[in-house]
Amino acid sequence: MRTSHWPRLIVGVAVATTIAMAQAQAASDEQELVDRAKVTVDALTADPNFKDFHDMLDRAKAVIVMPQLIRAGFVVGGEGGAGVLLGRTQDAQRKWSYPAFLSLGSASVGFQIGAEVSEVILVVMTDRGLDKLLGDKVTLGGDLSLAVGNLGGRMEASTTTNVGADVYAFGRSKGLFGGVALKGGILIPNEDSDKAYYGASATTRDIVIEQKFSNPDADRLREALSGT
């Protein structure tokens, strides 16, 4: 008696549908991060206190936007979040690239209690800083020199001796820590998110420097940065 192929066909279709749904959900997660990054850019650029941020962004080589950096702990603290990296072309137009995805994580030991949620933008000012970000991972305050702006958007007095830093950080925070502690944070490229968003394997260099990939759903974020 002839064996029907229908059961195997149904299973194959079900598997393909499940994979497609998972890919669509992944892309949706990345789009949500891009959309929230745009909201963060809008919020900081609309705040008149962030004059230093405006001035530096005009001269920036690249920018990292992290719409939600979470820090929490008791004695042992931790920090983490997801963000996007965009670079500028080196021609006269200086257009922003499409976003590459990355994650930030860190751990610290000390007397800490509470929780904090921050919106953070890292402005990359040097070619060296951008080059470091194209690698596997990079440590803020270690591999990259770091200066941190206060919550009002102006650079702290202590950072005036750090003129020429690779990265300047600006942010707004809510919580019991009262500030953003980025030193020692490790930035790691998220290639899975890059693939989900662009539908193909891509490196950070491919997206940010070579600009081989694009997704029109990120144009609003690029326009927000260009409008500063």
- Give the pLDDT confidence score for residue 93 in this predicted structure: 77
Q: Does residue 6 form part of some domain?
A: no
Q: Does residue 115 form part of some domain?
A: yes
Q: How far is CA 149 from CA 11, 80, 92, 160, 193, in A?
A: 55, 19, 29, 11, 29
Question: pLDDT digit string (tens) for 43-76?
Answer: 888 888 887 888 888 889 999 999 877 654 444 4
- Give the pLDDT confidence score for residue 46 in this predicted structure: 87
- Give the pLDDT confidence score for residue 190 in this predicted structure: 95
- Give the pLDDT confidence score for residue 4 in this predicted structure: 54
Q: Does residue 184 form part of some domain?
A: yes
Among residues 186, 94, 74, 77, which one has the least CA distance to residue 140? 186
- Please give the single-letter amino acid code of residue 223: E
Q: Does residue 9 form part of some domain?
A: no
- Give the pLDDT confidence score for residue 92 in this predicted structure: 67
Q: Does residue 102 form part of some domain?
A: yes
Instruction: Return the SS3 of 145.
Output: coil
Question: pLDDT digit string (tens) for 9-32?
Answer: 443 433 333 333 334 444 689 999
- Give the pLDDT confidence score for residue 22 in this predicted structure: 38
pTM: 0.77
- Give the pLDDT confidence score for residue 32 in this predicted structure: 96
Domain count of the chain? 1
Q: Which residues of 161-176 are buried (b: 16+ CB within 10 A; e: fewer)?
A: eeeebbbbbbbbbeee
Q: Does residue 5 form part of some domain?
A: no
> What are the tokens at 29?
């997660």
* Other residues' Cβ atoms within 10 Å of the Cβ of residue 142: 12
- Give the pLDDT confidence score for residue 209 in this predicted structure: 94
Q: Does residue 1 form part of some domain?
A: no
Instruction: Return the SS3 of 109.
Output: strand
Hunting for tokens 């020429």 — which residue is that? 164
Q: Does residue 4 form part of some domain?
A: no
Among residues 177, 71, 73, 88, which one has the least CA distance to residue 125? 88
pLDDT tens track of the chain, all 228 residues?
455 554 544 434 333 333 333 344 446 899 999 999 999 999 888 888 887 888 888 889 999 999 877 654 444 444 568 899 999 987 767 899 999 999 987 644 443 444 455 788 999 999 999 999 998 899 988 899 988 765 444 444 344 345 678 999 888 765 433 344 677 888 999 999 999 999 988 899 999 999 999 999 999 999 999 875
Which residue range is the domain that position 40 belongs to? 16-226
- Give the pLDDT confidence score for residue 70 in this predicted structure: 64
Task: Name 136's bridge partners.
Answer: none
